[in-house]
Structures are given as C-alpha cells and as structure tokens.
Amino acid sequence: MARLGVMGCAALALLAMAVPALAEDAKPEMEVIGDIGGVPIKAAVQTFGPIRVVGPFSRSTNPGAHVAGVYMKLENTSDKEIRLLNAATDAARDVLLHDMPMIEGVVTMTPVSEGIPIPAHGRIDLHPGGYHIMLSGLVKPLQPGRNFPMTLAFSDGTKADLSVNVWDIQQLQITTQ
C-alpha cells in the first residue's frame, strides 16, 4: 500500500506540473464528420507538424468487396502549399490517391499523379465523390466499429500515423464542407 501511495503522489506531482503547459491541449478539439440518424459523429483533430487531420474514416465493405475509399479532412497551417504524396496501410495490397473530376460530362475516378494539394492556411475535404484514398485488394472486409492503421506522407516531410475508423456504410451520413 505504501508503495502505491508513493507512486500515486509522484503521478499527481507530475500531473500538477504538466497541467499549466497542457491546459490548451487538455480537451482534444473535436469536429463533426457526419451523423448517424441525425446524431452527430465527432472526431478528434490530430496535429502532425503543420498538418491537422480530422476524422479519418472508411465505410464498411461487404464480403467479397475488393475496394474501399478512405476519407478525412486535412488542414495545412503553414504558409506554403503542402501535398499529400502517398498513403500506406496493411489493410490492402494497393493504396492510391484518387480524384473524381468531371471529364467530358462524366465524373471519372482518376489517379492523382503529383499528390493532393492542401493550400497554405487552407483545408481540403477527402470525401466520396471527390479526392479520396483508394484501397484496392482489401486483405479482409472492413467491419463497422473496427479501425486500421494508415500512414500518410506529405511533401514537406511530415508523416502522420493514423487510425482509420470503419463506419457502417448504411448508416453514416457524411458532412462535407
């Protein structure tokens, strides 16, 4: 008991010292990424150097499905454009950056060759029907409520290790900008 007490005190002392410095970060900033039946779904904002990432998610897939999209909001807090150059995950054999531009009147899924640009002091929204990260050759179906790791690499050298949440494709209504 005595040892526990000492450890408890040490932990409290550390906490007390840490509180002033952490005051701003104590409550993670949350943003609404969508809703399920009108109930808003919030995700924490994660910061990696000049990049802020909000709510990386994927939608669940049916057995036998080979592809899925990954979506999130990306913010660039720096003075220069930063590009998302690539994404990696163990959840699929191939990971590609895609856009859905209108080509001759038809929305066409197109590989992004020079990365997805995030303007200086701007943000972009990866969402169904727009920029997305395409998983091809899923190792196994994406099940609702699960998550999987993904690493993003940016043109300024920033790397972001993320956990991608899988939401039920039937339920999640996505909020876009």
- Which residues in this chain contact Cu ion in the complex, by CB under 5 A? 98, 109, 134
DSSP state of 127: -
In the complex, the smallest distance separating the C-beta of residue 55 from Cu ion, rounded to whole angstroms, is 19
Q: In this complex, which beta carbon is closest to Cu ion, that of residue 29 or of residue 99?
A: 99
- Residue 69: CB minimum distance to Cu ion, A: 6
Rg (CA), the chain: 19
Residue 87 vs 134, nearer CB to Cu ion: 134
* Nearer Cβ to Cu ion (52/167): 167
Q: Is the Cα dihedral 117, 32, 139, 169 positive or negative?
A: negative
**Smallest distance, Cu ion to C-beta of residue 93, A:** 14
Q: What is the largest CA-CA distance in the chain?
A: 75
CB of 104 to Cu ion, least distance (A): 19
Residue 35 β-bridge partners: 40, 173
Q: Which two tokens stand for residue 152?
A: 């993003």
Cα separation, 76 vs 53, in Å, equals: 9
Nearer to Cu ion, 107 or 109 (CB): 109
Of the pair 9, 109, the CB lying nearest Cu ion is at 109
Q: Residue 64 corresponds to which tokens in the numbers above?
A: 């036998």
* Smallest separation (angstroms) from Cu ion to the CB of 129: 10
Which two three-digit tokens encode residue 66?
């080979």
